[in-house]
Structure 1
Amino acid sequence: MARDRPQRPAGVARGFADHLRLARCTGGQTVTTTTTTTTTATPVTQRAVAVVTGAARGIGAAVALQLARQDFDLVLVDAPSVDAIAGLGYDLGSQDELQEVAALCRALGAEIHVMAADVRDEAALALAVELVEPGRLHAVVSVAGIIGSDAPAWEFSRADLDRDMDTNFHGVANLARVSVPALLHAPHGRGRFVAIVSTAGETGLPRLAGYVSSKHAALGYIRSLAADLGPLGVTANAVLPGSTRTALLQRSARVYDLPDVDAFAPHQRLARILEPSEIAAAVGWLCSPASSAVTGIALRVDGGFVG
């Protein structure tokens, strides 16, 4: 019996090989510029495409490189400015860093589009998906995340909690809303949605109630997404990194007045800090055909986190 496939949503572009859109999103508004290129001399490739958020540095950059090595073309997304989130207290990844990652991926043979977009802005994320021709989007990886305020749990204001939730939970849900309809057009059994969560998604941490709550919410969302997508041939999984050498871990060290990130090493059985490439290797497997029977899991890549 033929399987009824969902209709492609209106507005899904045909232009991954034909144009580059740079979406700059500020204050909920999106401005898009388009650069048209000529492709008559070069056949359009039909490699699979992945969208990666938080791709300017850390785990997101490592995921981009991993997927480029796995012959994905990529749409790389990160915040439009280092201070896109007010009151954060540290810089987000920059567009210059994102361009550097893009150059490294191109050197590996991947076709790359770069987009400046805030994951809190659903319309901006939709533009990233619209760059991909129908049927070519095989993987979506949500990496963008923050640590907002730090305080005892009862001192978190509604605004403090919302700051973490808007990026760490709603950023994942926004990305799923705009990308799943396109993933449903991938060959049956090949669509992949992966969210980088955290070991904090399954435990409690002092002074980080906003971060911990948002990660629990994101993990619950992924499990429900997997339940909904299972019969449709798309998998959804979460990766839970332990202490990994990133800017976010540097922020964590400041929360606890630690001299450097290596002070977290004793909390993992491997007694060392993980590297972003180690997390990316797990993501690469989840995005590969080899993981076709895996969905709805929380894959702990945590060095044996013991709290």
Structure 2
Amino acid sequence: MRTADASATPPVSPRPETVHAVITGAGRGIGAAIARHLHEAGMQLTLLGRTESALRQTADALGGAVRVAVCDVADSPAVERTFAALPPVHVLVNNAGQAESATLSRTTDELWQRMLGVNLTGTFHCTRAVAEGMRRARWGRIVNIASTAGQRGYPYVAAYAAAKHGVIGFTRSLALELAPSGVTVNAVCPGFTDTALLDASVANIVARTGRSEEAARAELAALNPQRRFITPDEVAAAVAWLCTDGAASITGQALSVSGGEVM
């Protein structure tokens, strides 16, 4: 029987002395929390998003030399131009996302394409821009912020759930493609997280059902077995760990940060 020759596989490179991380959707919420955690880990940051004022506010709060890049991740040429102007990227966190709810009969083509464009196609655009450089360098971390909606689904968010399921499938396939090079690709899947997106979901429930805001929030929190919302810092801590050397053998995973909602 033929045995594998370990020496035939080129060694994985050590972690770069200076790690440059790009975080999309970094102006607020989960993205801003991730930026803070990676900054505290000593990484050089580029904050990417569509709203310069929000990005600047996050950068100012961090202090130091933090780059800001204004870009719509759904715009392929804009993504190519933006990443071409950046230094080599060692860590990419695809956090940019958008959530809207509607029954299937009220899900327009525009809404469907918008959910796919930001949540799935944007992840593809940014990852494609950095993956080959990471593969050549033989070190890299790609973390895609998906959702429990990509693991189990929820009513009235078929377009959003389809996009997030796509993110997880993309993550698993790319993880296998890049595994020999020492680049890891993982997804972090938050449950309902206390951000502006959650506020919008609550407002939609109130408008649709006539329930109070308190009742709507309680209904969503009850989906979490811990009976609470996830915090942005909890999601960011999971992302930061996946970027460490201790997580070098963790790839192709969809890590649920949801209080046990998804197991």
How far did 1:3 drift? 4.1
Paired position in structure 2 for 1:298: 254
**Superposed counterparts of 1:52-131, under 5 Å:** 52-79=23-50, 94-106=51-63, 109=64, 111-131=65-85
Contact preservation (8 Å) 1:122, 1:178 = no
Does 2:127 align with 1:213? no
Deviation at 1:132, TM superposition (A): 3.7
Match of 2:172 among 223, 226, 251: 223
Structure 1 segments unaligned to the other structure (5+ residues): 6-44, 80-93
Question: What SS does structure 2 have at the residue aligned with 1:161?
Answer: helix
Query: 1:40 maps to what in 2?
Result: none
Matched, 1:198 2:147: yes
2:17 and 2:94 map into 1 onto residues whose CA distance is 23
2-side partners of 1:235 and 1:293: how far apart? 8
CA contact (8 A) 1:198 1:239 kept: yes
Contact 1:51-1:74 within 8 A present in 2 as well: yes
2:124 counterpart of 1:173 = yes
* Equivalent position amino acid for 1:183 in 2: M
Q: Aligned partners of 1:254 and 1:209: how far apart in 2?
A: 19
Q: Please give the TM-score of this superposition, normalised by the length of structure 1.
A: 0.75
Aligned residues between the structures = 246
Shift of 1:2: 8.2
- Quick check: 1:51–1:128 contact (8 Å CA) kept in 2? no
Q: Sequence identity, in percent?
A: 36
Pick closer, same or farther for the CA change 1:272–1:4 going to 2, 3 Å: closer
Distance 1:3 1:192, change over 3 A: same
RMSD across aligned positions (CA): 2.3
Which is strand-richer, 1 or 2? 1
Give the TM-score, by structure 2 length. 0.86
> Could you say if the C-alpha distance between residues 56 and 202 of structure 1 is closer, same or farther in structure 2, counting changes exceeding 3 Å?
same
Residues in 2 aligned to 1:292 and 1:128: alpha-carbon distance in whole angstroms: 28
Q: Give per-residue Cα distances to partners, 1:113-139, cap 9 Å, x unaligned.
A: 1011001112322344334434xx220
- Please list the CA deviations of residues 249-276 of structure 1 after superposition, one character each: whole Å capped at 9, or x if unmatched: 1121123226157422221122111110
Q: Which amino acid aligns with 2:171?
A: I
Higher helix fraction (1 or 2): 2
Which residue number corresponds to residue 289 of structure 1?
A: 245
CA contact (8 A) 1:226 1:235 kept: yes
The secondary structure found in structure 2 opposite 1:226 is helix
Paired amino acid for 2:79: L
